Amino acid sequence: MFQIKEQSPVYDVCIVGSGAGGGMAAKILAEAGLKIALMEAGPDFDPADPDSQTQLKWNYESPRRGASTPTRSFGDMDMAYGGWEIHGEPYTRKGDSEFDWFRSRMVGGRTNHWGRISLRFGPLDFKRKDFDGKGDNWPIGYEDIAPYYDKVDKLVGVYGTRENIPNEPDGYFLPPPKPRLHELYLKKGIKKLGIPVIPARKSVLTKRLNDSRGVCFYCQQCNRACNVYADFSSSSVLVKPAGETGNMDLYVDAMVREVLTDENGRATGVSYISRQDRQEYQIKSKVVVLAASACGTARIMLNSKSDRHPNGIGNSSGVLGHYLHDSTGASRSAILPELLDRTRYNEDGARGMHIYTPWWLNDKKDLEFTRGYHIEYGGGMYMPGYGVGFGMEHQNGRIPGKDGKMKKAGGYGLSFKEDVKRFYGAGIGFAGRGESVPQKDNYCEIDPDVVDQYGIPVLRFNYHWTKDEIMQAKHMQDTFEEIIHALGAVPNGEKPGADTNYGLEAPGRIIHEVGTTRMGTDKNTSVTNKYNQTHDVDNLFVMDGGVFVSQADKNPTWTILALAWRSSDYLIDELKKMNI
């Protein structure tokens, strides 16, 4: 019925996915002179394009005032095309498993809207098993990746400060922005508890980095993608320069279904369905790099079955899709009475926090969990949008009014109107982001019964948190409560208890999912070697978060970038040596 169309050129490398890992691979490999096909499942996207722009738009320009929609999970102005559910592209969960999968279909993928928190993993993070006996060590150590973190810092740009904290390695930092008012209160209160607070580390350009990108103008909207490229998006920082080498063709709206192989089981390219005409096409290449996100890549590999790869390509170990793990997350919020009726001024800074708390209890052995978490802080006078003024009945009955008297919660009229103004900018928020212990039993697999609208079999998730993650969330809540009390703040809502796993978010919700194609020295227990090359197929590489052995309590992007660069250098070297 379908005529499969082969594209004419044979590329040196076909890269699937244009996010952090695929973008980095495209840039390094194209600049090395290799001919690249870059495959993206969504449309083309450039943060500087005025047609797609939401940056500096007012929420009232949106008929829903910026509220989220099924196509923009994080709000109408957020720059992620996709979200927790994509129409026509389902995924499923087995039994009582919980897992939510955030996908972004566009050039640059999820890097267009992410939080820009850019943390290096530390020496301990690669060898956690040595300390708690759980999970596995990485086949590499900090010293292997450090030179690439250095290069990423200088290429992409990250602000921060050199703190000399053992497991929080310093980098080549741009100077950070000054803390805001609520952050000064937080610093003061938290210091008393012996919990560290240091400047955030984010890939936002507080100073000029080079002539091709602008400098941050403090609109607080990195999640809307930056028109002057003053933050890191793969689309602007990696894919664009890769294209400008003249060595790359970008294929958009191309849903890659599988890796094609020859009779020896080696990769020969990929097949994809065009979202425009629903026809199937093929790309031929000498090397295939998968960077479609940890789960996207696992799905493509599991769907790439042949006589030589009966369980999916690169899956002779049977661990493909296994060891899937996300960061833990739990949060709480409060009202800081000192900020009621605060003086107004333009407080927009770089998006999100200017300060944070790195994990501070690595040496403590008597916790009821073994891996750490960091704390992100929120607050400030944000642009009013959907949600402003909501739930006033949970606030204005809990703090005395200007006259010092308590009043009934809720209300209407001028007194209510004034209350919304009074409480504006007085909230503070706490979000813990922690390391989970990877489990073989947490995995994604191909659902035997379900295909998406392109006919491609979909993923089914199997995932349960263990006691480690639940007790870590309990510790987060205890810490948040301690901080709230130290600040003299008024907590919102009840403290989450055991009935809700202490507010522990469902797996996937933190969007740090990794581990499905983990690296290792033993080909029976891992999918790739320490250079992101699959054990089974020498011309098949994985350059996304799938290769993580463990996630650390650090956001994964910086490590994805560093590993993709390292792997690309290795690939170039292997090609030079004629080993591939």
Near another protein by CB under 8 A, which window of 57-65, 259-267, 288-296, 369-377?
57-65
**Contact residue for another protein among 162, 402, 440, 467 (CB under 8 A):** 162
Our finding on whether 131 is near another protein (CB under 8 A) is no
The neighbour count for residue 2, using CB atoms within 10 Å, is: 9
Question: Residue 554 half-sphere exposure, CB side, CA atoms within 13 Å?
Answer: 24
Q: Is the Cβ of residue 154 or residue 485 nearer to another protein in the bound state?
A: 154
**Of 470 and 580, CB closest to another protein:** 580
Q: Report, in Å, the least distance between residue 67 CB and another protein.
A: 7
135 scored as a contact of another protein (CB under 8 A): no
Structure tokens at 203: 């890939």
CA–CA dist 359, 374 (Å, integer): 5
Show Cβ contacts of residue 225 under 8 Å, excluding neighbours closer than 6 positions: 45, 47, 52, 54, 55, 79, 108, 112, 113, 233, 235, 236
Report the residue from 265, 387, 401, 491 that binds another protein according to the rule CB under 8 A. 387
DSSP classification of residue 61: G
Choose the stretch contacting another protein; rule: CB under 8 A; options: 15-23, 385-393, 464-472, 512-520: 385-393
Report the site for another protein in 108-127 (rule: CB under 8 A): none
Q: Shortest approach of another protein to residue 432 CB, angstroms?
A: 24
In angstroms, give the least distance from the CB of 241 to another protein. 5
Binding mask 464-503 for another protein (x = CB under 8 A): ----------------------------------------
Using rule CB under 8 A, residue 351 touches another protein: no
Q: Which helix (H) or strand (E) holds 299?
A: helix 294-302
For residue 219, state whether it binds another protein (rule: CB under 8 A): yes
Between the two ends of the chain, the Cα-to-Cα distance in Å is 36
Using the 8-state DSSP alphabet, how is residue 4 labeled? P
In the bound state with another protein, the residue whose beta carbon lies nearer, of 92 and 274, is: 274
Residue 384 DSSP label: P
Encode 486-501 in three state secondary structure.
HHCCEECCCCCCHHHH
Distances (CA, A) of 28 to 13, 21, 36, 572: 12, 11, 10, 9
Residue partners of 517: CB distance under 8 A and separation at least 6: 290, 294, 297, 298, 301, 314, 320, 527, 528, 534, 542, 546, 547
Tokens linked to 27: 């840039």
CA separation for the pair 450, 457 (Å, rounded): 6
Q: How far is the CB of 183 from another protein (least distance, A)?
A: 9
Site string for another protein, 539-578 (x = CB under 8 A): ---------------------------------x--xx-x
Cβ–Cβ under 8 Å, residues 378 and 183: no
What are the angstrom distances between the C-alpha of 88 and each of 85, 147, 572?
Answer: 9, 42, 38
Nearest approach, Cβ of 162 to another protein (angstroms)?
7
* Residue 349 engages another protein in binding (rule: CB under 8 A): yes
Q: How far is the CB of 238 from another protein (least distance, A)?
A: 12
Give the nearer residue to another protein in terms of CB position, either 2 or 412. 412
List, in sequence order, every beta strand (DSSP E) within 275-317.
Answer: 280-290
Q: Examine residue 392 and tell whether it contacts another protein (CB under 8 A).
A: yes
Give yes or no for residue 161 binding another protein (CB under 8 A): yes
Of residues 15, 190, 350, 437, which one binds another protein by CB under 8 A? 350
**Least CB distance from residue 251 to another protein, whole Å?**
5
Q: Measured from the CB of residue 149, what is the shortest distance to another protein in angstroms?
A: 10
Q: Which stretch binds another protein (CB under 8 A): 17-25, 299-307, 390-398, 455-463?
A: 390-398
Provide the minimum distance between the beta carbon of 142 and another protein in the complex, in angstroms, as a whole number. Answer: 12
Count of all residues that appear for the chain in the document:
580
User: Among residues 361 and 409, whose Cβ is nearest to another protein?
Assistant: 409
Q: Residue written as tokens 């989220």?
A: 68
- Applying the rule CB under 8 A, the residues between 174 and 193 that interact with another protein are 174-181, 184-185, 188
Closest contact distance (angstroms) between CB of 502 and another protein is 26
Residues binding another protein: number (CB under 8 A): 128
**338 vs 482 by CB, closer to another protein:** 338
Q: Find the shortest distance in angstroms from Cβ 400 to another protein.
A: 16
Cα maximum dimension of the chain: 82
Q: For the window 19-38, what string marks contact with another protein as x by the rule CB under 8 A? A: -----------xxxxxx---
Q: How far apart are CA 145 and CA 132, in angstroms?
A: 23
Q: Is 343 a binder of another protein (CB under 8 A)?
A: yes
Binding mask 298-337 for another protein (x = CB under 8 A): ----------------------------------------
Residue 321 CA to residue 442 CA, distance in Å, equals 9
Nearest C-alpha neighbor of 544 from the set 574, 520, 515: 515
Does 17 bind another protein (CB under 8 A)? Our answer is no
Minimum separation from the CB atom of position 389 to another protein (A): 3
**Tokens of residue 569, six digits:** 């250098």
CB atoms within 10 A of CB 121: 25
Of the pair 422, 530, the CB lying nearest another protein is at: 422
Give the integer Cα–Cα distance in Å for 309 and 302.
Answer: 9
Nearest to 109 by CA among 249, 257, 238, 277: 238
Of 85, 98, 144, 347, which one interacts with another protein (CB under 8 A)?
A: 347
Residues between 416 and 435 with contacts to another protein, criterion CB under 8 A: 416-417, 420-421, 424
Q: Return the residues of window 229-288 that contact another protein according to CB under 8 A.
A: 241, 243-254, 274-276, 286
Lookup: tokens for 227:
């028109």
Rounded-to-integer distance, Cα 541 and Cα 482, Å: 46
Name which of 84 and 386 has its Cβ closer to another protein.
386
> Which residues ranging from 59 to 98 are in contact with another protein (CB under 8 A)?
59-67, 69, 71-72, 76-77, 79, 81, 87
User: Containing H/E element for 480?
Assistant: helix 467-487
